[in-house]
């Protein structure tokens, strides 16, 4: 059995060089494992599950909603307001946003630390293999966010978590850990989650397909994404904006036929989804009957993407043009609504991480790039997402379908990129896609008419790391421009 003594755990938890997390670490130590005796730590299913649950805590609360909002500000569609404005100006981060992204760094590393503890301390054997696989899935997910925003980062695993001074690993080394973790997760995770919100092997395969797409390993990405798409998920049929709001993203949805993996929230104190507060303004009354929200991230009707968007697309109808002080062209999203929320922090909407649309569009792009042509299966994958958005049955040919004969591989990939822009608003995917596909300068200029400085492409390594981790030189190891 692999396990740590409690005093060693305290030392590992509290010596991690993330100053901003000291209080959170102490609280996690007090609240989560205190009921588990030292002599049988992580020795039963209940103990292991409690430890795995602790991985979700830093992700669920404010981290992922704020993180996704920040990424949306970077996109060619969206705009930040107030302190969020520099995120969508593409000139690098100011002090307020350097502090903001430091919180993301700290939160992802806290999730990684908690995953490492599970991987290190769980009794070996088939009985708990599922829990270890879940920890590896969440560790891979967290590192996938870190490496795309900061490039090479310190690689803290169950073997290095007690190393105070740890240099930045290369991007290749970080990706190798991600691939290794997901390979294990695809084997040991179940096909069906025992509880909604737990990852399955299909979630692991979708994440792995996304990683392969990022690494330009197109054959592998297409194969995995198609396997997921053919595994029994189905797009929810819609005929109105309300169907999107309440059948797919609604506050009372436990799960849906298209959900692959989502972070779960509830209409309870301290259990609600914070992104609704970020995306709503009190005048909309989309969040609580009385109306609340900061409207930190919004759209604009003069954006070229919005102007070019077909008005018959139901997803476009999830935007409302409301002037509440930012001008008559301000767009308010109604993708996530919970008018019955108790207050700003109790929206019950889940936060989608992967849906069937992801698998279909990953397959469509990857297969076109792998084969340098547009085959019927790739076009059908795209058409399923597209025709659903116009109110047609996803699996039946419709008048809005695209014809593969009209596209080569390059123009087809452009079509996929455009469809993703419509499909994944407020899901935090667009910025990464623009960087990955080399479309960043072109599409930011098209949508917002703004130039991008090089330093804006990566976030700065935070002071909470460089002040403690002496293996990272704040002058020579910092990302360009900071």
- Higher-confidence residue: 2 or 468? 468
Tokens of 342: 């108790």
Confidence of residue 27 (pLDDT cuts 50, 70, 90): very low
| Mean pLDDT, range 31-52, rounded to an integer | 66
| Mean pLDDT, range 42-66, rounded to an integer | 92
| Weakest-pLDDT range from 125-129, 185-189, 291-295, 459-463 | 125-129
- Higher-confidence residue: 378 or 19? 378
Strand 79-80 with 330-333, pairing: unpaired
Residue 372 has pLDDT above 70, yes or no: yes
pLDDT at 41: 61
Residue 398 has pLDDT above 90, yes or no: yes
pLDDT at 62: 86
- Higher-confidence residue: 29 or 181? 181
Other residues' Cβ atoms within 10 Å of the Cβ of residue 191: 9
Q: What is the largest CA-CA distance in the chain?
A: 67
CA atoms within 13 A on the CB side of 19: 10
Report the distance separating Cα 420 and Cα 426, nearest Å.
11
pLDDT at 127: 83
DSSP state of 194: S
Write the pLDDT tens digit of every residue in 244-266.
Answer: 999 999 999 999 999 999 999 99
Confidence of residue 219 (pLDDT cuts 50, 70, 90): very high
Choose among 418, 391, 350, 69: nearest CA to 242.
Answer: 391
Report the distance separating Cα 333 and Cα 310, nearest Å.
17
Report the distance separating Cα 149 and Cα 404, nearest Å.
35
Residue 98 has pLDDT above 70, yes or no: yes
pLDDT at 125: 76
Q: Which residues pair with 330 in a beta bridge?
A: 300
pLDDT at 123: 78
DSSP state of 265: -
Report the distance separating Cα 408 and Cα 437, nearest Å.
16
| Mean pLDDT, range 445-455, rounded to an integer | 97
Strand 259-263 with 319-321, pairing: unpaired
Tokens of 200: 């399955």
What angle, 0 to 180 degrees and rounded to 10, lies between the N-to-C axes of helices 22-31 and 6-15?
160
Residue 36 has pLDDT above 60, yes or no: no
SS3 331: strand
pLDDT at 345: 87
CA 119 and chain centroid, separation: 23
C-alpha dist (Å) from residue 98 to 70, 92, 423: 11, 9, 29
pLDDT at 22: 29
SS3 231: coil
Report the distance separating Cα 347 and Cα 380, nearest Å.
35
φ/ψ of residue 329, rounded to 5: -95, 5
Confidence of residue 15 (pLDDT cuts 50, 70, 90): very low
Report the distance separating Cα 385 and Cα 379, nearest Å.
10
pLDDT at 24: 34
Choose among 203, 63, 42, 20: nearest CA to 115.
Answer: 42
Average model confidence (pLDDT) for the chain?
A: 91
The domain ranges of the chain are: 265-349
| Mean pLDDT, range 271-280, rounded to an integer | 94
Q: Is the dihedral of CA 111, 116, 118, 121 positive or negative?
A: negative
Write the pLDDT tens digit of every residue in 322-350.
Answer: 998 999 999 999 999 999 999 888 999 99
Report the distance separating Cα 143 and Cα 163, nearest Å.
18
């Amino acid at each position: 059995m692999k396990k740590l003594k409690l005093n060693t755990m305290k030392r590992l938890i509290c010596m991690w060089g993330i100053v901003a997390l000291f209080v959170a670490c102490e609280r996690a130590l007090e609240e989560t494992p205190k009921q588990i005796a030292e002599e049988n730590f992580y020795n039963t299913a209940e103990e292991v599950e409690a430890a795995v649950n602790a991985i979700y805590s830093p992700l669920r609360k404010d981290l992922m909603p704020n993180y996704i909002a920040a990424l949306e500000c970077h996109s060619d569609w969206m705009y930040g307001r107030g302190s969020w404005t520099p995120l969508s100006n593409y000139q690098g981060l100011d002090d307020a946003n350097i502090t903001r992204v430091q919180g993301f760094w700290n939160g992802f590393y806290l999730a990684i630390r908690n995953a490492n503890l599970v991987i290190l301390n769980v009794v070996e054997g088939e009985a708990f293999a599922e829990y270890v696989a879940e920890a590896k899935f969440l560790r891979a997910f967290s590192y996938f966010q870190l490496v795309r925003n900061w490039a090479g980062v310190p690689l803290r695993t169950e073997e290095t978590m007690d190393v105070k001074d740890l240099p930045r690993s290369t991007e290749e080394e970080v990706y190798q850990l991600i691939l290794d973790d997901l390979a294990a997760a695809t084997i040991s995770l179940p096909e069906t989650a025992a509880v909604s919100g737990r990852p399955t092997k299909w979630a692991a395969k979708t994440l792995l397909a996304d990683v392969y797409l990022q690494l330009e390993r197109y054959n592998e990405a297409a194969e995995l994404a198609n396997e997921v798409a053919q595994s029994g998920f189905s797009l929810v049929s819609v005929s109105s904006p309300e169907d999107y709001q309440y059948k797919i993203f609604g506050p009372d949805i436990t799960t849906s036929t298209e959900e692959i993996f989502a972070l779960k929230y509830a209409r309870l104190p301290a259990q609600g989804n914070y992104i609704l507060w970020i995306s709503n303004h009190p005048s909309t009354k989309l969040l609580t009957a009385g109306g609340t929200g900061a409207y930190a991230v919004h759209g604009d009707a003069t954006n070229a993407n919005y102007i070019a968007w077909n008005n018959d697309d139901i997803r476009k109808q999830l935007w409302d043009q409301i002037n509440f002080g930012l001008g008559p062209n301000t767009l308010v999203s109604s993708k996530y609504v919970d008018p019955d929320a108790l207050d700003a922090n109790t929206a019950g909407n889940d936060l989608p991480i992967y849906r069937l649309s992801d698998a279909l569009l990953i397959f469509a792009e990857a297969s076109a790039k792998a084969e340098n042509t547009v085959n019927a299966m790739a076009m059908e994958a795209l058409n399923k997402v597209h025709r659903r958005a116009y109110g047609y049955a996803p699996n039946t040919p419709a008048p809005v379908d695209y014809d593969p004969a009209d596209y080569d591989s390059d123009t087809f990939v452009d079509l996929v990129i455009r469809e993703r822009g419509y499909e994944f608003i407020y899901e935090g995917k667009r910025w990464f896609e623009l960087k990955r596909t080399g479309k960043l300068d072109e599409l930011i200029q098209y949508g917002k008419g703004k130039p991008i400085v090089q330093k804006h492409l990566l976030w700065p390594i935070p002071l909470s790391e460089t002040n403690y981790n002496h293996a990272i030189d704040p002058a020579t190891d910092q990302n360009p421009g900071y």
